[in-house]
């Protein structure tokens, strides 16, 4: 979907992007092969050509910052497939507070391995670990996880592409929290964590602080299922957003589904 995208060009909006698709210009390479052929509304063809050449170079170099800035959070989902190998699924747990010391653990999953960073153990490693990735996927991270992490880590430079599944599913007409949407998408939790929510995560941390090591194990498992399940949800949301966007433009035939992980 990223190489079909034109709305990141200054002066070229969603309406003109749809027009380009309808004209038969369905990729950056299509446009660049014959810029004079396509109508770009009020946008400058010189600007379009320049930005698309820059886009090709940025994609080849895996320069996520270019797309993060030009797509913004709303359209960052378009880059998920192309930056999937550099993707980090992220979710935090807290003690119920909202200040910089409230984060109790951060779950990280890169599609292969899971790691849970624990307060007073290795949580301080978060800024360095996340800096090695291009794209982060969260559930309502724009409103909660990322602001909390920025308070906790002033040196956290969040220039990543950010696919927020909460907002992505809302665009698809699917509302509710992470656990509710998981069930709607046919994703089941383990018997140990099924039914647990954020309030339980707070209680588990308090029990751990009182000496209950088993409570920490359960909290980590709960957090792990949060981030691991996000990968399946991201694949579902990406496919549906692609299909919806292209169908609304009258070019549903351009939809290319992916295989869910």
pLDDT at position 47 = 97
The verdict on residue 231 lying in a domain is: yes
Q: What's residue 259's pLDDT?
A: 60
The pLDDT score that the predictor gives to residue 258 is: 79
Question: Cα separation of 27 and 189, whole Å?
Answer: 39
Q: d(Cα 253, Cα 15) in Å, to the nearest integer?
A: 18
Same domain, 131 and 199: yes
Q: How far apart are CA 46 and CA 33, in angstroms?
A: 14
Is residue 21 within 8 A of residue 251, CB to CB? The reply is yes
Q: Print pLDDT tens along the chain (261 aa).
A: 999 999 999 999 999 999 999 999 999 999 999 999 999 999 999 999 999 999 999 999 999 999 999 999 999 999 999 999 999 999 999 999 999 999 999 999 999 999 999 999 999 999 999 999 999 999 999 999 999 999 999 999 899 999 999 999 999 999 999 999 999 999 999 999 999 999 999 999 999 999 999 999 999 999 999 999 999 999 999 999 999 999 999 999 999 997 644
Do 99 and 57 belong together in one domain?
no
Which CATH number do you get for residue 143? Answer: 3.30.420.10
Residues 58 and 152 in one domain: no
**The token pair that represents 241 in the structure block:** 């957003």
Q: Where are the alpha helices (DSSP H) in the chain?
A: 14-23, 28-33, 45-60, 64-75, 126-130, 146-152, 165-171, 178-184, 198-209, 213-248
The predicted structure's pLDDT at residue 75: 98
Angstrom distance (rounded) from CA 216 to CA 207: 8
- Residues 101, 68 share a domain: no
Give the pLDDT of residue 260: 47
Q: Which domain holds residue 73?
A: 2-80+248-254
DSSP 202-248: HHHHHHHHTT-HHHHHHHHHHHHHHHHHHHHHHHHHHHHHHHHHHHH
Structure tokens at 39: 């109508």
Residues 52 and 93 in one domain: no
Determine the pLDDT at residue 221: 98
- Is-contact 73 164, C-beta < 8 A? yes
In-domain check, residue 259: no
Q: How many domains does the chain have?
A: 2
Q: Same domain, yes or no, for 109 and 205?
A: yes
Task: Check whether residue 90 and residue 162 sit in a common domain.
Answer: yes
Are 41 and 139 members of one domain?
Answer: no
Task: Let me know if residue 51 belongs to a domain.
Answer: yes
Of 154, 156, 155, 151, residue with least CA distance to 100: 151
Q: How many helices (H) and strands (E) does the chain have?
A: 10, 5
Pair (74, 134) in one structural domain? no
> Do residue 171 and residue 99 come from a single domain?
yes
Q: Are 52 and 32 in contact (CB under 8 A)?
A: yes
Q: Both 213 and 105 in a single domain?
A: yes
Q: Write b or e for each residue in 135-161: b if 16 or more Cβ atoms lie within 10 A of its Cβ, otherwise e.
A: bbbbbebeebbbebbeebbeeeebebb
**Burial level of 3, CB count in 10 A (0-12/13-18/19+)?**
middle
184 and 134 belong to one structural domain:
yes
- Residue 243 forms part of a structural domain: no
Q: How far apart are CA 181 and CA 221, in angstroms?
A: 19
Residue 260 resides in a domain: no
């Amino acid at each position: 979907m990223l190489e079909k995208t034109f709305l990141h060009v200054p002066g070229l909006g969603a309406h003109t992007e749809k027009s380009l698709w309808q004209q038969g210009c369905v990729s950056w390479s299509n446009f660049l092969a014959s810029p004079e052929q396509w109508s770009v509304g009020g946008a400058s063809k010189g600007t379009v050509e320049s930005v698309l050449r820059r886009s090709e170079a940025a994609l080849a170099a895996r320069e996520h910052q270019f797309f993060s800035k030009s797509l913004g959070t709303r359209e960052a989902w378009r880059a998920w497939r192309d930056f999937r190998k550099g993707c980090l699924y992220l979710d935090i747990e807290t003690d119920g507070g909202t200040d910089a010391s409230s984060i109790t653990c951060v779950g990280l999953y890169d599609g292969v391995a899971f790691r849970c960073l624990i307060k007073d153990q290795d949580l301080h490693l978060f800024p360095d670990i996340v800096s090695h990735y291009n794209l982060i996927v969260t559930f309502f991270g724009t409103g909660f996880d990322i602001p909390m992490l920025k308070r906790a880590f002033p040196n956290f430079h969040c220039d990543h592409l950010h696919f927020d599944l909460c907002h992505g599913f809302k665009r698809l007409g699917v509302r509710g929290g992470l656990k509710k949407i998981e069930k709607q998408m046919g994703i089941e939790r383990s018997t140990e964590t099924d039914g647990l929510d954020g309030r339980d995560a707070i209680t588990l941390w308090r029990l751990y602080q009182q000496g209950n090591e088993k409570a920490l194990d359960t909290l980590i498992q709960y957090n792990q299922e949060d981030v691991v399940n996000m990968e399946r949800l991201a694949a579902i949301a990406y496919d549906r957003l692609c299909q919806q966007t292209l169908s609304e433009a009258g070019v549903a035939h351009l939809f290319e589904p992916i295989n869910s992980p």
